[in-house]
Amino acid sequence: MRIIVLQDHLRSGGTERHSILLAREFAELGHASELVTFRPGGRLAPTAGGHHRSLQPFDTGIDWLAPRLSSSVLGASPDIVLCMGKTANCFAGRLQRQAARRGLPTRVVATLRAGGVLPGFYYSSVKAAAHLVTNSHEAADLLVSRHGLERARVSVIHNSLVFPAATEGRDPELRARLGAGPQTTVLLSVGMFRPEKNQRDLIAFAAGFPTGWDWRLWMAGEGPERAACERLAESLGLKDRVRFLGFQADPGPLYRAADIAVHASKEEALSNFLIEAQSHGLPAVACRALGIEECFVPGRTGWMLEQGDAAGFRDAVDRLCRDTPAERAVRAEEARRYARTSFDPARQVGAYLSLFESLLAEALRAPHP
């Protein structure tokens, strides 16, 4: 198959990482796979490999600008165009209609990989695509019940593990370098600092931990909300407790050095961070958002709370800290097993390819004008 993965820009988010992973894995399995972005560059661009090109000749800084999109994408007569990210998906319906007008059998596959409010033309666009893939069952149910998509035209393919655990066990040296001792409870948050990721609540929740308890909150990532979060931590007297670690090309070492994954994002469809944390054996405490409970085994390897439930957050963390070493080991092994089975990259890539093959077979059976 000739497959084009379409993305607006290779910033440091989970969708962008998955765009690169899918394009690479399709190529390694023998398909003519290419990653096409609207803008050149981006923090993840160096990891994209040789099968990547951009529509903008230089970076205008405009996510929506896609010069010669139709001719550049459809001119290659792809079998599949997989739209990744909100911006690319707003062009999915247009590309499918133009493919039909050209008499091409190309099938444009839209995706939903984030929660929150999306522009109305996003939904009209994805409805005009050949199919839509979302990464959680909860998101799929919402698309059908609230936005009127046909159930038969919506598939669920969970995210792949982008950073699976290569080794097991704790990393006391990194803990020590970051100011955590053997008895310190290290809470970890990994993600872009954007308003919807809501890292502010994590800092506010942690401010209510009992005086004298030995804890640290490590926050990895960059984005427009980082400075505000740093100011909040300082205003709450937590400058020595909360560490801002910046963008991490590979957050794996942080998972091996932390104790509990914490997450308060308001807009998700499935959290890459919680999946990665599970693969490293970390229990999770997270606030309610789309797909959150599909990231862990509820009540056994992870706990979901209502948004803003500071008391519930602190109580869940306290219960996990009271686990015996044997209980922690059992919980960690269950988390690793769940993540590595449910989000195995080979399994997810295979699901995409099976879907593509069925869509192309359906196209061949369809009557032609």
Q: 110 with 247, same domain?
A: no
Model pLDDT, residue 167: 65
Residues 81 and 56 in one domain: yes
Q: Is the pLDDT of residue 103 over 60?
A: yes
Number of domains the chain contains: 2
Residues 197 and 151 reside in one and the same domain:
no
pLDDT at 369 over 60: no
The edge-to-edge listing of strands for the beta sheet with 107-112 is 52-54, 32-37, 2-7, 80-83, 107-112, 131-134, 154-156
pTM recorded for the entire structure: 0.88
Does residue 167 belong to any structural domain of this protein? no
pLDDT for residue 368 is more than 70:
no
Statement to judge: residues 313 and 212 lie in one domain = yes
* pLDDT (tens digit per residue) in 134-150: 999 999 998 898 888 89
Query: For residue 28, is it within any domain?
Result: yes
Please check whether residue 230 lies inside any domain of the structure.
yes
- 92 pLDDT more than 90: yes
Say how far apart CA 223 and CA 232 lie, in whole Å: 15
What is the pLDDT, as a whole number, of residue 188?
A: 98
Give a yes or no: residue 309 inside a domain.
yes
3-state secondary structure the chain: CEEEEEECCCCCCHHHHHHHHHHHHHHHCCCEEEEEECCCCCCCHHHCCCCEEECCCCCCCCCCCCCCHHHHHHCCCCCEEEECCHHHHCCHHHHHHHHHHCCCCCEEEEEECCCCCCCHHHHHHHHCCCEEEECCHHHHHHHHHHHCCCHHHEEECCCCCCCCCCCCCCCHHHHHHCCCCCCCEEEEEECCCCHHHCHHHHHHHHCCCCCCCCEEEEEECCCCCHHHHHHHHHHCCCCCCEEEEECCCCCHHHHHHCCEEEECCCCCCCCHHHHHHHHCCCCEEEECCCCHHHHCCECCCEEEECCCCHHHHHHHHHHHHCCCHHHHHHHHHHHHHHHHHHCCHHHHHHHHHHHHHHHHHHHHHCCCC
Query: Do residues 110 and 242 share a domain?
Result: no
Q: Percentage of the chain with pLDDT > 70?
A: 97
Do 70 and 94 share a structural domain?
Answer: yes
- One domain, residues 101 and 177: no
Would 209 be classed as within a structural domain? Answer: yes
Task: Assess contact for 242 and 296: CB atoms under 8 A.
Answer: no
- pLDDT 10s digits, 137-193: 999 998 898 888 899 999 999 999 887 766 666 788 999 999 999 999 999 999 999
Average pLDDT score over the chain: 93
The reported pLDDT for the residue numbered 14 is 87
Q: How far apart are CA 165 and CA 281, in angstroms?
A: 9
CATH number of 32's domain = 3.40.50.2000
The domain of 246 spans 172-342
What pLDDT was estimated at residue 166?
63
pLDDT value at 118 more than 80: no
Domain-located, residue 25: yes
Tens of pLDDT along 289-320? 999 999 999 999 999 999 999 999 999 999 99
Q: Tell me the C-alpha distance between 123 and 126, whole Å.
A: 5
pLDDT for position 126: 92
User: CA-CA distance, 224 to 44, in Å (whole number)?
Assistant: 18
Please indicate, yes or no, whether residues 156 and 177 belong to a single structural domain of this protein.
no
pLDDT score at 113: 84
Do residues 353 and 326 share a domain? no
Question: Does 199 lie in the same domain as 72?
Answer: no
Asked if the structure places residue 148 within a domain, the reply is yes
* 153 and 275 together in one domain: no
Is 165 inside a domain boundary? Answer: no
Residue 73 has pLDDT above 90, yes or no: yes
Residues 184, 142 share a domain = no
